[in-house]
Structure 1
């Protein structure tokens, strides 16, 4: 029987908007992920209420011998206008991380998982804007500085390759193709901006010994299996 490597981490992965709840508490504002909810089925408003029950959750995960927990930091909670820090939001994640570590679980942090404040999409067109991209980089660098002694494993973007999918509206990245701009130019600008952001975040992560930035090129990639329908007949 083959044996797992000694550095293999047994764990799970979630997002803030799928688990936290508390969608209108302590300064949080609507995010672009709210537009991705399924009407009548999921609104991301309650999740599993981990905003209030994370300590119970981590106690249960410890009993299951879970070693690692990937989570995301909700941009719309920690900087509701995109750049001004909401201390209540940061203090929540301070407590969240302390509890995780107390329960002997290693944190893995996704810095962007579709939780941009909705206003940045409506007013500035999200990651199509270099201003928004730079604000995100500054926020990410601040988080690395704040938590470098608690988090060793960092992810810049979730499923960055999804930018090339789903037509001219990239809701997950807060952007809509402007009039007069080709699809190719639109996607290229989004990809460029997120690549530059990833590089700057990676440089910050690598400035601390022992920290790692994970993924390929610009974060974690999304993979889906496809099969030729002709082979299924």
Structure 2
């Protein structure tokens, strides 16, 4: 039995299919998706349809990301958030052309069913972005932090690796979980094209929304698989590479 954490897809269905084929997923595998399934490349609605079908045959966990919250609100209220529209929402709306209201409702139900975080049996936390409470995600007052926060990752990047987890200097936020897996902040922002580790946090978002790849990591062995760079899979599109 293997468990994979899969990074932010951002409408890149071709990359997702390529990645799953490279991972050679089996019936007994668990797939934990880190959120942001939509906004970027041209197949956001098609990604959601694919994931709904995938969950019928595999054990899947779908964490909710900030782009998913925006899309969920649009599907529910038919109201276009201008910030969302400028950050991939337009492409997502276009991808729903021809979808019936019944199918849109099915997608809305899927978004509404997504948890904001997941903790497995070995006390490993999976959350899209981060959290701010020193008492852990369960005590997070501002739920938006779970899909918007970047301070958790920024803090981990600045830590001295010599600080032991049982030290009083080790941040309380990080002590609650054996490991933390996140997406949201692309590793290509740090000129790294593969999953990154800082303290006990693993960042699986390798920039599929932009010029990077989609990644999936075996959370036990830390072996990872990657798609091709997304611009190579969608050569006639810009994704979220505006200007």
TM-score where L is the length of structure 2:
0.31
Identify which of structures 1 and 2 has the higher relative contact order when contacts are C-alpha pairs closer than 8 Å and 6+ apart. 2
* Higher helix proportion (structure 1 or 2): 1
